[in-house]
Amino acid sequence: MPEFDRLDGSSIGIDLDFVEREQTPRELMELSIQLQLCGLSLSDTVSVLECFGVERARSTVHNWVQKADLQPADGAQPDHIAFDETVIHLDNQRDWLYAAVDPETNKFLHVRLFLTRNEGVTSIFLSELTEKHDVDDAVFLVDSGPWLKAALNRHSLRFRHETHGNRNAVERLFQEVKRRAYQFGNCFRNAEPNTAETWLQSYAYVWNQLI
């Protein structure tokens, strides 16, 4: 079932403080952002707006998503964290998506997009994660990637090598993110890396609200 089939018309708490002279009703802007991130193409999202008598360009909806600057919420205290990275191909560019997921809730804790994968960028990711969430007592579930383990050791964080089990949580979400990134590849054509990262973080935010 497509993600947008689960929408019930309720708000998911998108902050629209970035709006200045935009004449589109805020409720329709929020609905457009929600629909686009949950599976509707930009063209179909624009068609939904037209049903309400509002005509906007696809680029306008894309810009709303970018300006909303959505992020997974802070303040979690997970017992376990599924932690991994995967390659994402956007506009013929090979980037690395890092993600930390709470396997008990299946929610994203933190998401970043890097141009490479190594101990250094992994350490940057972990520094940001520890600032956002209480993870001192959590056990990180990782695969055999030496850069992951080295960075976790640097931060004195506990981890366990786990190929399946709870670590499958992050693998399942990676598969969905890759599907969505491929589906909306045109959104990132000739885009800066931070544009793609903002979209991925926004997607993670909406995912957390809807599961």
In whole angstroms, give the CA distance from residue 130 to residue 128. 6
The residues, any chain, with a CB within 8 Å of residue 10's CB and separated by 6 or more, are: none
Under 8 Å between Cβ of 18 and 67: yes
Structure-block tokens of residue 73: 């919420």
CATH architecture of the domain 80-191 equals 2-Layer Sandwich (3.30)
What pLDDT is stored for residue 195 in this prediction? Answer: 82
Rounded to 10 degrees, the C-alpha dihedral 201/41/169/97 comes to: -40
What pLDDT is stored for residue 139 in this prediction? Answer: 96
Residues of the chain short of pLDDT 50, as ranges, are: 1-10
Structure-block tokens of residue 41: 């193409």
Tell me the domain boundaries of the chain: 3-68, 80-191
DSSP for 11-70, please give it. Answer: ------TT-SS--S-HHHHHHHHHHHHHT--HHHHHHHHHHTT----HHHHHHHHHHH--
pTM score, whole prediction? 0.83
**SS3 assignment, position 211:** coil
What pLDDT is stored for residue 7 in this prediction? Answer: 43
What pLDDT is stored for residue 177 in this prediction? Answer: 79
pLDDT in tens, 19-41: 666 788 888 998 998 888 877 88
Q: What backbone torsions phi and psi does residue 139 show, to the nearest 5 degrees?
A: -105, 120
What pLDDT is stored for residue 162 in this prediction? Answer: 84
For the chain, percent helix, then strand, then coil, each to nearest 5?
50, 20, 35
In whole angstroms, give the CA distance from residue 47 to residue 41. 10
